[in-house]
Amino acid sequence: MSLFGGVIPVTGTNFLVFCIFAVLFVGYAIGRVTIKGISLGDAGVFFIALLFGALFFEPLSNQLILNGEAESLKYIDQALSIVEKVGLIFFVTSVGFIAGPKFFSNMKKNFKSYVLLGLIIILAGGLAAVGCIFIGRTIGFGSSIDNPEAFTAMISGLLSGALTSTPAFSAAKEAVAPEYVSLVAVGQGIAYIFGVLGVVLFVQIVPKIMKADMEVERQKLVAVSGGEVKEKKKATFKLDEYGFAAFALAALAGVVIGAIKIPMTSAGLSGTCFSLTSTGGCLLAALIFGHFGKIGKISIMPENSTLKMLRELGLVLFLVGAGIPGGAEFVANFDPMYFVYGAIMTIVPLIVGFFFAKYVLKLSLLNNLGAITGGMTSTPALGTLIGTAGTEDVAAAYAATYPIALIAVVLVSQFLIILF
């Protein structure tokens, strides 16, 4: 199998590179289309990646299997997984560095608010999942689910997709009986698409509905985050001009931190371990690096232009790596009822979290939305919010809420299976 008269074999590296850059180009173009002030932005890349996966990748996968080329398909899957992983590390490490200088002063002022909001968002998602279980058991289990355990496994997968949480997905797979692991994966694939696009649209629509003055909101955000960062004595030595070495060191430390596993036996989850994963580990390491900025006279802070570039590159690579196989899985496993359940599990925590932050915690709009992207563990939504808000200070709220949400969603997804 090949493209353009055999120039690009579909099982080779050239084919995959061609597809990635084609998706990036078309995705950026689609993302620029604006309707009443609302656009997909970088999520346009995700949308096109999904379409590519649905229209081309799924048929290609089936054809490769029929032709006895399963190894080629495995190679492509692994390559896309690497693209997704590297992109995610680029993005969260950049966000950590950008948020680092203001993060700890922000946390000192708003620690209780961020913890509460992170918990409320995840609990709202968990309660929405419980509601879907009861609805499903009342009106029927659906076309492919014929017993309560299997249905709960499906719902747990939908929850992980609705909250775009890979750790929750992994935790749910560990908690269900072996014969139901595939249902968790199916559920995650069905709900993931709306889980991404729903939050991306939410952070753009809410400011429009509230007719927010972004200049005023940016000023409020600066006041909350501790104002301008105090000028620190600069380091006198850089390992490289752009700070790639410092970036690599933070990412390396983050991967190591993320690999540490903490047994959850005390929480009643015998045999299960919690970890920050490389995503949470890189975020934490970069926050610390960004806060201190140097070790002795050696700079450990990349240039701001480097961080912006790697943040954007990381985000779109993540969207391509997740979107292509996600589109294929969506087509193969789509069920309208489960898609609705997944949408409910995305919308409910968004609405509950927003109103709780606005009326109970009294957070300013951008601080509110930044914290919600962290509570929903939504990487693409943060990228969109930065563009909508016109400031990268929203990353501090994301970084503050993300860790508690990460821990809470792992626990909720497993308790869901244990209790139901």
What is the percentage of the chain residues whose pLDDT exceeds 90? 20
Distance, first Cα to last Cα, the chain: 47
- 144-160: per-residue pLDDT in tens? 556 788 888 888 889 98
One-letter amino acid at 184 equals V
DSSP reduced 3-state for 125: helix
CB of 56 within 8 A of CB of 272? Answer: no
> C-alpha angle 100/28/163, rounded to 5°?
55
- 12-53: per-residue pLDDT in tens? 567 778 888 999 999 999 888 887 777 777 778 888 888 888
pLDDT (mean) for 175-188: 77
How high is the pLDDT of residue 196? 84
Nearest to 338 by CA among 160, 86, 106: 160
Domain that holds residue 296: 2-419
CB of 309 within 8 A of CB of 82? Answer: no
Cα–Cα distance for residue pair 200/373, rounded to 1 Å: 9
Q: Average pLDDT of the chain?
A: 81
How high is the pLDDT of residue 64? 65
Buried b (16+ CB within 10 A) or exposed e, 226-242: beeeeeeeebeebeeee
Residue 77 tokens, joined:
């899957």
Torsion of CA 277, 279, 280, 281, to 10 degrees: 70
Nearest to 376 by CA among 363, 391, 392, 357: 357
DSSP 265: G
- 102-138: per-residue pLDDT in tens? 777 777 777 888 889 999 999 999 999 999 888 887 7
Cα–Cα distance for residue pair 26/298, rounded to 1 Å: 41
How high is the pLDDT of residue 346? 94
Burial of 311 (0-12, 13-18, 19+ CB in 10 A): buried
pLDDT (mean) for 176-191: 78
Tokens 């961080």 -> residue: 307
Buried b (16+ CB within 10 A) or exposed e, 281-305: bbbbbbbbbbbebbeeeebbbbbee
Biggest CA-to-CA distance, the chain: 68
CB of 127 within 8 A of CB of 419? Answer: no
CB of 348 within 8 A of CB of 129? Answer: no
Nearest to 400 by CA among 79, 153, 100, 8: 100
How high is the pLDDT of residue 387? 84
Tokens 């995503």 -> residue: 279
Residue 321 tokens, joined:
């790596």
Instruction: Report whether pLDDT(9) > 60.
Output: no
pLDDT (mean) for 171-194: 78
Length of the chain: 420
- 285-334: per-residue pLDDT in tens? 998 999 898 888 889 999 989 998 998 898 889 888 878 877 777 776 67
- 187-241: per-residue pLDDT in tens? 887 888 888 889 988 998 999 898 888 888 888 887 776 555 555 566 668 888 8
Tokens 């620029």 -> residue: 32
> C-alpha angle 167/168/174, rounded to 5°?
90
DSSP reduced 3-state for 39: strand
How high is the pLDDT of residue 287? 87
Phi, psi at 39, each rounded to 5°? -140, 165
How many structural domains are present in the chain?
1
Residue 104 tokens, joined:
């700890």
Give residue 274's region: left, alpha or beta (phi > 0; psi -120 to 50).
beta
